[in-house]
Amino acid sequence: MRKKQNFKWDKISLGVCYYPEHWDKGLWPDDLKRMKENGIGTVRVAEFAWSIFEPEEGVFSFALFDAFLDLVEQEDMKVIFGTPTAIPPVWLTEKYPEVLNCRKDGVLFRHGMRRHFNYNSKTLHRLAARVVRQVAEHYAKRPCIVGWQIDNELNCEINEYYSESDTLAFREYLQEKYGTLDALNEAWGTVFWNQIYSDWNQVFVPRTTINDMTNPHQMLDFTRFISESAIRFCKMQSDILREYVKDGDFITTNGMFGNLDNHKMADTCLDVYTYDSYPNFAYCMKENPKNNRTLNDRKWSKHLAEVRSICPHFGIMEQQSGANGWNTHADAPAPKPGQMMLWAMQSIMHGADYVSFFRWRTATKGTEMYWHGILDYDNGDNRKLREVKKIHERVQAIADIAGAEYVADLGLVRDYDNIFDAQQDVWHRRVADNSEMEIFVASQLQHTPMDTVYMREETDAEELKKYKVLLYPHAEILTEKACHVLEAYVRQGGCLIIGARTGQKDRNGQCVMKQMPGLLSPATQSAVTEFTLIGPDDDAVAMNWNGKEVETGVFNDILATAGTDAKVLAEYSGSYYKGCPALIETKVGDGKILHFGGTFTRNNVRDFLDYTGILEPFAGVVHAPEECEIALREKDNKKYLFVLNFSKNDQGVELCCEMTDLDSGKIEKGAVTLAPYETKVYRFKSE
Ligand code: GAL
């Protein structure tokens, strides 16, 4: 079972990100007063302020933040204090260039951007540890501080590390993992293309190669190593902070980025996890060409489900409050009236109990001068500030929802080995990316809330029991442990759905010499006899399921039964494998496994949800159009129904039973119209 989070907010509340070092001191008192007047009670500071605390090596200065915290305390407001390691100062990187990260070809990353350091340099660890200790020692007892944020967005901007410090640490990591070079050669399949190592000094982090081709098994270990390096850096900081933080104050960091086992980081270093939610990214011109607009800002609900799997009751450390924009990229429109509220409610609906806006006022200088905050450069009251006040009023009306559970019968199963493998394996990625997004879209459009569930070392059947259906789309890498847990989940009554290419690989990412689904086949009593991707010239292939033609996606495994409990539910209805099994159901204990040969599409997922009896769990409570997202949070026998209109048009919903509108306090039933971007929260009692 996973460790539970150590810290929870007891009321939903609002905060903001603020950079006292960016502004004239004279602005601070008025800024804090206006924050408070508009419902903002907490301020996150200092995550980039290393040069302010340590202007020269070993010389520390606390005056600026002392003065700022004095004012915060006068206003009776709260602070989340950042450890300032996200940008090492110029004096540091010039004197100790070994702390820098670099390109694959060895060219060092210099100042101008941020996060240009590596996690493995001993010098960086030493100097980062020192500044963290100094800051913690100096500030931790301040009454206004309620929590600590470690660094800022570990692995954002860049999540690959190729410096010399990384190579040295990678060798140590591999020596510990494999013990001998023989074992490493075996795991990496180095006999292929003459890569056999005869000395540890020949082993490097991936280097420049022709067409950037790298040994795939090495890449898998390299990615795991990056994750471990980031976690070690984070743990170094949290261990120091723990010596100083006051009772009740939390340690967090703001995620969630790639090449990083965020679950392990949260479990080993943090009390609570926070996320930075910028749904307006969906409308950036360059990042999102017209053909990549699936669900637009609503797609952030997928990220939020992921965050919930790390920490059920999380915070949003940075919530979008203005137009995106660096001077070089990420150009998006200003949020329309109602969208700030919509995005804040999206976070809250998915489990956020603290929402802090980025940032109080837009920077007048630097790369981020178009990344807009609540206030614009002129510092006047504006529409966004008025919207913050409305969000505050709304949050007060629903503050008790803090700690309520998000309710879902469906779990989308993921794991880091497969995520890391799919990042570099184009066959794997083709099936994984397609299916995961389509499953999410289906769950959204069919109003069937979904959790993300991670298979980890400590995951057991007990933890999975709460889901009626688990969809583990394409676990190419399967371990014996995972198979046991999945089988135990099914035996106790669960329904597991697996898709094409399940069980193709071992943990090194090497293909196993067995028919798929490999280690899972004793349970599924099925086997893959042949397989193919659907090529550009191929017609889409469907399967006939109970007389209905159902899509089979972008890859087809041709199945056969391999046991007496296995029953063919559907056969392919096209291509050279017409008539062959495409979907096999096997009863296992009190539950069942559905082995599907295809990949998932929004249409076939609807059929799977229907077949397994979990489609639209709130159909008896509310009817809503596809444009609205619906979810339920539940606590102390009270149910809170969220209805969010993501569209720019009015949407009509039908409440099938009496519910209290938490804004007006009125009892509602029947037809309700939601204006563009409008959100509603209703409370009703459990039967
Ligand atoms: C976040 C980051 C902030 C700010 C913001 C807008 O990723 O944590 O520091 O850069 O994006 O770009």
State in Å: Cα 293 to ligand 1 middle: 22
Q: What is the pLDDT of residue 354?
A: 98
Question: Are residues 395 and 357 in contact, defined by beta-carbon separation less than 8 angstroms?
Answer: no
Q: What share of the chain is helix, strand, coil (3-state, %, to 5)?
A: 35, 25, 40
Of ligand 1's atoms, which has the minimum distance to the CA of residue 48?
A: 9
Does residue 125 carry a pLDDT above 60?
Answer: yes
Does residue 684 carry a pLDDT above 90?
Answer: no
Which region, left, alpha or beta, applies to residue 579 given φ > 0 means left and ψ of -120 to 50 means alpha?
A: left
Is residue 588 packed enough to be buried (19+ CB in 10 Å), middle (13-18) or exposed (0-12)?
A: buried
Q: What is the pLDDT of residue 510?
A: 98
Q: What is the pLDDT of residue 438?
A: 97
Residue 288 binned pLDDT confidence (cut-offs 50, 70, 90): confident
Tokens 């809170």 belong to residue = 640
Please tell me the least confidently modeled range out of 232-236, 296-300, 324-328, 478-482.
324-328
Enumerate residues lining ligand 1, CB below 6 A: 152-153, 156, 276, 318, 358, 368, 371
Orientation angle between helical segments 300-310 and 339-349, nearest 10 degrees: 30
Q: What is the pLDDT of residue 37?
A: 98
Euclidean distance between CA atoms 616 and 572, whole angstroms: 28
CA-closest residue to ligand 1 atom 6: 371
Q: What is the pLDDT of residue 290?
A: 66
DSSP string, 288-330: S-GGG-TTGGGGHHHHHHHHHHH-SSEEEEEEE-S----SSS-
Euclidean distance between CA atoms 617 and 476, whole angstroms: 31
Of ligand 1's atoms, which has the minimum distance to the CA of residue 317?
A: 8
Of ligand 1's atoms, which has the minimum distance to the CA of residue 153?
A: 8
- Give the model confidence (pLDDT) of 132-146 as tens digits: 999 999 999 999 999
Side chain identity, residue 289:
P
Euclidean distance between CA atoms 378 and 364, whole angstroms: 10
Euclidean distance between CA atoms 498 and 500, whole angstroms: 7
Find all residues with CB under 8 Å of 607, minimum gap 6, and list them.
Answer: 545, 548, 550
- Give the model confidence (pLDDT) of 410-427 as tens digits: 999 999 999 999 999 999
Q: Which residues are catalytic?
A: 153, 318
pLDDT, averaged across the chain? 96
Find all residues with CB under 8 Å of 176, minimum gap 6, and list them.
Answer: none
Q: What is the pLDDT of residue 3?
A: 67
DSSP label at 505? Answer: B
Does residue 55 carry a pLDDT above 60?
Answer: yes
Question: Are residues 358 and 321 in contact, defined by beta-carbon separation less than 8 angstroms?
Answer: yes
Please report, rounded to a whole number, the percentage of residues in the chain having pLDDT higher than 90.
95
- Of 19, 319, 368, 369, the residue with max ligand 1 atoms within 8 A of its CB, to mutate for a pocket test, comes to 368
DSSP label at 245? Answer: P
Euclidean distance between CA atoms 11 and 635, whole angstroms: 13
Greater pLDDT, 257 or 112:
257
- Give the model confidence (pLDDT) of 150-182 as tens digits: 999 999 999 999 999 999 999 999 999 999 999
Does residue 1 carry a pLDDT above 80?
Answer: no
Which region, left, alpha or beta, applies to residue 167 given φ > 0 means left and ψ of -120 to 50 means alpha?
A: alpha
Whole-model pTM: value is 0.97
Find all residues with CB under 8 Å of 202, minimum gap 6, and list them.
Answer: none
Q: What is the pLDDT of residue 291?
A: 60
Give the angle subtended at the CA of 251 by the CAs of 233 and 120, to the nearest 5°.
5
State in Å: Cα 276 to ligand 1 middle: 8
Residue 284 binned pLDDT confidence (cut-offs 50, 70, 90): confident
Does residue 375 carry a pLDDT above 90?
Answer: yes
State in Å: Cα 371 to ligand 1 middle: 8
Does residue 687 carry a pLDDT above 60?
Answer: no
Q: What is the dihedral of CA 203, 209, 213, 214, to 10 degrees?
A: 10
Q: What is the pLDDT of residue 609?
A: 98
User: Helix or strand or coil: residue 529?
Assistant: strand
Residue 552 binned pLDDT confidence (cut-offs 50, 70, 90): very high
Q: What is the pLDDT of residue 686?
A: 58
Find all residues with CB under 8 Å of 101, minimum gap 6, and list them.
Answer: 108, 109, 115, 116, 117, 118, 158, 161, 162, 163, 166
Euclidean distance between CA atoms 473 and 244, whole angstroms: 44
Strands 450-454 and 410-414: what pairing? parallel
Does residue 665 carry a pLDDT above 70?
Answer: yes
CA-closest residue to ligand 1 atom 10: 368
Q: What is the pLDDT of residue 169?
A: 98
